[in-house]
Amino acid sequence: MAKTEIITQNSEETERAGEILAAEILRGEIVAPLVIGLMGDLGSGKTTFARGFAKGLGVKDKITSPTFVIFKKYLFSAGNLYHVDCYRIKDAKDLAELDFSETLKLKENVILIEWAEKIKNILPKDTIWMNFKYLDENKRKITA
């Protein structure tokens, strides 16, 4: 499949990209259970994208970075959004106590994971992978 690449010029545009993906999911163009793996360095826009994604799904709560808690769960009309951040973990074994493999299987879950490459071995084959790259102070490249 051909790669899609966009360059965003500010945080709002990166949020907007997240909202667009969420809209596709809500329209049923992409079917749950759904795992979205975000890769890219610190500051490359992953959490910003996640914020827009949550907004697009209709999550009412404010999205904050889950770095210190590994994941946060939010409700939206069709299920649960899990926002996961693997920055502080070493590999998938660190998630063993969290029942994470169950979470990945449930149809009502949409799971968006920052630093997902660290736990690649436990993620489903149909995970949607996205790469984030810092170009300059305001520019980010998003490839999917």
Chain residues binding ligand ADP by CB under 6 A are 8-11, 13-14, 40, 42-48, 114, 132, 138-140
Question: Closest separation between CB of residue 6 and ligand ADP, Å?
Answer: 10
Angstrom distances, CA of residue 108 to CA of 11, 41, 81: 29, 29, 9
Phi, psi of 76 (to 5 degrees): -135, 180
What residues form DSSP beta bridges with 140? 8, 134
Angle at 23 between CA 112 and CA 127, to 5 degrees: 35
Question: Closest separation between CB of residue 142 and ligand ADP, Å?
Answer: 8
Which listed option, ligand ADP, Mg ion, none, makes contact with residue 140 (CB within 5 to 8 Å by class)? ligand ADP
Q: Which of 82, 84, 81 is nearest to 70 (CA)?
A: 84
x/- mask, Mg ion, residues 36-75, rule CB under 5 A, reads ----------xx----------------------------
Nearer to Mg ion, 22 or 116 (CB): 116
Residues found near Mg ion in the complex (CB under 5 A): 46-47, 114
